[in-house]
Amino acid sequence: MSANSSAGHPLLRHRDGHHARVTFEELLFDLVYVFAVTQLSHGLLHHLTLLGVVETLIMWFAVWLGWQYTCWVTNWFNPEMPRVRGLIFAIMFPALLMSASIPEAFGDRGLVFALAYVLIQVGRTAYIVLHLPSEHPLAPNFRRMLGWMVIAAAFWLTGAFLEGPWRIGLWLVAVLCEYVSPMFGFALPGLGRSRTSDWTIEGAHLAERCQLFVIVALGETLLASGAVLAETAHWGIPVLLGLLTTLLGTLAMWWLYFGTASKDAIHRVTVSGDPGRTGANFHYIHAILVAGIIATAVGNDLVMAHPDQHLTTAYVVTLVLGPMIFLFASLLYKREVYQVIAKSHLAGMVLLLALVPLAYATDLLMVGTLTTLVLLIVCFVEWRVVRRFRAKQAGAVIEH
């Protein structure tokens, strides 16, 4: 697809070489996903078992994919056009239904969850296919995408009528259909396959949308801590220390993401020789990164609610694995942005693993404090690395 493929269709964004701003329509749409993230973290908090983790992961990827595919649509199509705005607002209704049904998605409301999700994915994609002329460069891509959405829908809906392992298995296949198919260009017999080089995206807009979702997830960690504090009858020293610990942990994650690579990520996807592939990689990585933030929020809830309690294996895994997932995804993100491995993140993951034996001998507050301390150490090391890197860059500019 040529760089000028946006020309000739009134619904597409006008590309004039400037950064396409995130619109108010998109920000309003994101508010639904604040609710969805809250539902996921609260659901996992009350089902801290292996089965609960698997079910939460499936629902998380559904939530993320529904948001992600909409994000790509609003990258190409102008949300301020009435027909595109109407599409975004129409999607919000099934998105709310999907989010509200999350606690019972593997119970009595499985069909509601599946129907709402399918309506989002198939309905949005079909709407775009109907509005794009068949000869438009984007049309074949959306036809292939629609094919995969319909395939996934068959697994979502079939799984909704079954229970237990069958529902889990079929919904896992549905998630894989939607998550993996872009890696192969939505290849389908008779329809061919798309190339990432054909996806002429507005890179800065896409990177900013991912960053805004990270803010949504970090906001959930703060909301969760505040909610637990509000429900606690006695605000003793352990509870207040738990609040301080969880706040510092959230700030550490914010800095590791926004204080280092966020601006450079926008530049990276903008100047990429294959912005479609870079943008897709950003979405793959952010699905893992935000999952780490959600898991960390669950750990924060545990620390705030039971600071003096000794840890079970489920608690140990939750408190350690959340920050580990975040650091791993952050490592992948910085690898994509800078083409280097962030050694501080690897060291942080090792330190977190080293906390596991100690965790069984102490309480939730101490383990929460130690995991936060690890994140702060990684922040300090990263700050020194970034400061040296930017000083080196500034010196090179002066010499030039």
> Tell me, what's the pLDDT at 3?
37
Residue 188: strand, helix, or coil: strand
> Tell me, what's the pLDDT at 225?
87
> Tell me, what's the pLDDT at 324?
96
Q: What is the mean pLDDT of residues 278-302?
A: 90
- pLDDT category at 7 given cuts 50, 70, 90 is very low
> Tell me, what's the pLDDT at 366?
94
Residues 71-119 pLDDT 10s:
889 888 888 889 999 999 999 999 999 999 999 999 999 999 999 999 9
Q: Give the number of other Cβ atoms within 10 Å of residue 156's Cβ.
A: 28
Q: Which of 134, 128, 129, 104 is nearest to 116 (CA)?
A: 104
> Tell me, what's the pLDDT at 303?
92
> Tell me, what's the pLDDT at 283?
84
Q: What is the mean pLDDT of residues 354-382?
A: 93
Q: What is the mean pLDDT of residues 311-339?
A: 91
Q: From CA 280, how far away is CA 269, in angstroms rounded?
A: 10
What does the domain layout of the chain look like in residue ranges?
24-198, 203-399
End-to-end CA distance of the chain: 37
Residues present in the chain in total: 400
Q: From CA 326, how far away is CA 293, in angstroms rounded?
A: 6
Residues 41-79 pLDDT 10s:
989 988 888 899 999 999 999 999 999 999 889 888 888
> Tell me, what's the pLDDT at 86?
94
Q: What is the mean pLDDT of residues 337-344?
A: 86
What sign results for the dihedral spanned by CA atoms 107, 111, 116, 119? positive
Report the percentage of the chain scoring pLDDT > 70.
Answer: 90
List the single range of 152-156, 258-262, 336-340 with lowest mean pLDDT. 258-262
Q: Which of 22, 3, 14, 335 is nearest to 206 (CA)?
A: 22
Phi, psi of 46 (to 5 degrees): -95, 0
List the single range of 11-20, 159-168, 260-269 with lowest mean pLDDT. 11-20
Among 2-6, 174-178, 202-206, top mean pLDDT goes to 174-178
In contact, 263 and 385? CB cutoff 8 Å: no
Residues 255-287 pLDDT 10s:
999 987 777 777 777 776 676 777 778 888 999
In contact, 100 and 214? CB cutoff 8 Å: no
Which carries the bigger pLDDT value, residue 195 or residue 196? 195
Phi, psi of 163 (to 5 degrees): -130, 165
